Amino acid sequence: MNYVLEIKDITKSFFDIKANKNISLKLKEGEIHALLGENGAGKSTLVKIIYGILKPDSGSMFLDGVKYSPLNPDSARKHGIGMVFQHFSLFESLTVLDNLILGQKNNISRADIINKLSQIQHDYDLFLDLNKIVATLSAGEKQKVEIMRCLLQDPKIIILDEPTSVLNPEEVKKLFSFLKKLSDEGVIILYISHKLQEIKELCDSATILRSGMVVKNCDPKVLSINELAKFMIGKDIIESYDLSQTENIDVMNVVDIVYVNPELYGISLEKVNFSVKKGEIFGIAGIAGNGQSELMKVLSGEINDIKNGSILFNGVKINSLNINDRRKKSMVFIPEDRLGHSAIGNLSLNENILLTNLWDSDFFKNGMIDNVYLDNKTREVIDKFNVVCSDENSLASSLSGGNLQKFVVGREILKNPNIIVCEQPTWGVDIGSANVIHEFLLRKANMGTTIIIISQDMDELRNICHRIAIISNGKLSQTYNTADITSEDIAIEMAK
C-alpha cells in the first residue's frame, strides 16, 4: 500500500525528558487517524515535528514517497500540511478577516478569500463577524477562526489538535460531516482529542502513545471507551460520581445582575439571577460567545462596574471588590484561557504559584519570599495533579496544554477555598486528568466548598453538578436539578 505520510523511528528529547521515543506512523489517502495519549505523552511534540516547528533528534519522514524534512511551518504548508493548534496563534489586535488573510497564498485576492470564507462558514455554520477584533472574541470564537484559517489553505493533510474543545454538539456534528467530506475527497485528517466518544464516531484508525512511545495501533470503533482510556493512562477510569448532600446555607447570591458590555460586539448580561449553597456544585452551560466569559469576569471581580444588581458572598455585598480583594476572602477563580490569563508563559511554575498567593503570609518570611515553602507548594501541585514537567522551575510555556491546565486548577483547588469559580476546568485535558480534576472538585464539595463550573461540556456538568442553568445571549435560564434536565430542555434554553 502507498502511504501519503510515513514516519519512521522519530525520537525527540528536551533535556532529560524523551518526548518521542522511536515513533513510527503511516497515513494513507483519505484516512481519519486519531493520535491518542494522556497529557505529556508526546502527541504535541510529534505533530510539531510533522508541521516543521520542531526538528527530530533522529528518525525520518516521507511524504508521497519523498523524504520530507520541513524547515518551518511555511515549508510544511507549501507541502500541503495544515494545522489547527490547541493554543491560539492569532494577532489579538487585528480583525478576524485580517488574521484569516495572513499566511494565505499570495495569488489569492481578498475578494476570493471572503467568498471562500462564506462557503466555509456555510458548511460549518460557524458564522463570525469578520470585522470583529480578535481580542474581543471568546475562546470558542477564536477556535473557529483557527479552523477556518486552516481550511483556507486547501491542505492535503490537516492536523487538528483538540478542535472541538470549545464547540457545541451541533457544531461538532457539522464539523464531523465536513471532515468526512474532506476524507471522501482524499484529504488525510490527523486528529488529536481527549474526547474518546468523538474518536470512536469519527476516526478510522488510531495510534495510542504513552510516555512518548507507541503502545497500540487499533481501530477505535471496536474498542470501548474504557479500553481506549486504559491503553492511554494504564488504568481504568471513573465513569460516574456520587454527589454528597448540600447544606441549606446560601454562600453566593447573584441578584438581578446587569452588565452593559462596552465592546461593539460584546455580550451584555441581562438580569442574571442564581444562588449556590454550601457544598453545592452548580453548573452553567452554554455555547461559546453567549456571555460565559463576561459572567466569569463579573463573578471574579475583573469586571466590577456592573450597572445594576448585587453579588452577595456569605450575605455580604462584594460588587465593588476587585479580584485580589475577593481572593482575600478565600474565593478562587480559574479562567478558561490558561496561558496568559491563568498563567504567564515566561514565568516558572514557582513564580506562577506566587502570582495568586501574594497576600498569603505563609509564602513570606521576614518580609522575603520563603523559597523553601514556595518550592514545597509547587511540588505539591505537581505531584497531586500529576503535572508532567522537569521540575518546579520549568517555564509555564514549556508544559503541554493539558499539563498547564492541571497545574492552574491544582494551584487554586489546593488553597482550601470557600468557593471555587472555574471556567472550562477540563478543557484540553485527557480523560484520566479530567477524572483527577473532577475527583478533587467533588472532594472539596464534600468538605463544604461551594463550586461554580462554567462549561460547554454538558456531559461534564451532568456528571458532577447538583444543579444546572443555561446561559444564552447573556440571559441565564431557570435552574434545573441535574437529574431532571433533558436534552430537549437544553436545546430550548440554548436557542433562546
- Grouping H, G, I as helix, E, B as strand and the rest as coil, residue 344 is coil
* 220 CB burial (10 A radius; 0-12, 13-18, 19+): buried
State mean pLDDT over 342-358.
Answer: 94
**pLDDT (0 to 100) of residue 420:** 97
**pLDDT (0 to 100) of residue 154:** 81
**Which DSSP symbol is given to 243?**
P
Contact between residue 448 and residue 278 where contact means Cβ atoms under 8 Å apart: yes
- pLDDT greater at residue 435 or residue 300: 300
Q: Residues of 325-356 as b/e, b for ≥16 C-beta within 10 angstroms? A: ebbeeebbbbbbbbbeebbeeeebbbbbbbeb
**Percent of the chain predicted with pLDDT > 70:** 95
How far, CA to CA in Å, does 242 sit from each of 78, 239, 370, 438, 442? 52, 11, 39, 11, 8
For residue 236, is pLDDT > 90? no
Contact between residue 314 and residue 247 where contact means Cβ atoms under 8 Å apart: no
In this prediction the pTM is 0.78
**pLDDT (0 to 100) of residue 140:** 66
State mean pLDDT over 363-377.
Answer: 94
**pLDDT (0 to 100) of residue 166:** 66
- Residues near 76 by Cβ (< 8 Å), separated by ≥ 6? 50, 51, 52, 70, 83
Q: How many residues does the chain have?
A: 496
State mean pLDDT over 294-320.
Answer: 94
For 312-329, the pLDDT digits (tens) are 999 999 999 999 999 999
* 15 CB burial (10 A radius; 0-12, 13-18, 19+): exposed
Least Cα distance to 441 among 473, 406, 472, 482 occurs for 406
How big is the CA angle at 48 (ends 42 and 49), to the nearest 5 degrees? Answer: 90
Least Cα distance to 250 among 461, 414, 452, 444 occurs for 452
**pLDDT (0 to 100) of residue 206:** 97
Task: Give the residue carrying C-alpha cell 470583529.
Answer: 132
pLDDT band at 299 (very low <50, low <70, confident <90, very high): very high
Amino acid at 8: K
pLDDT band at 270 (very low <50, low <70, confident <90, very high): very high
State mean pLDDT over 337-363.
Answer: 91
For 120-146, the pLDDT digits (tens) are 888 766 788 999 998 777 666 787 888
Task: Give the residue carrying C-alpha cell 491503553.
Answer: 231
- pLDDT greater at residue 264 or residue 82: 82
Mean pLDDT score of the chain: 89
In this structure, are strands 250-259 and 308-313 parallel, antiparallel, or unpaired? antiparallel
**Cα gap 289→139, rounded to integer Å:** 8
Domains and CATH numbers, the chain: 5-233 (3.40.50.300), 250-495 (3.40.50.300)
**pLDDT (0 to 100) of residue 139:** 62
How far, CA to CA in Å, does 337 sit from each of 83, 141, 304, 324, 495? 20, 13, 20, 18, 26
**Cα gap 246→36, rounded to integer Å:** 37
For 446-483, the pLDDT digits (tens) are 999 999 999 988 888 988 999 999 999 899 999 999 98
pLDDT band at 436 (very low <50, low <70, confident <90, very high): confident
Q: Which range among 64-68, 137-141, 207-211, 241-245 shows the weakest confidence by mean pLDDT?
A: 137-141
Torsion of CA 66, 192, 159, 50, to 10 degrees: -40
**Cα gap 401→407, rounded to integer Å:** 10
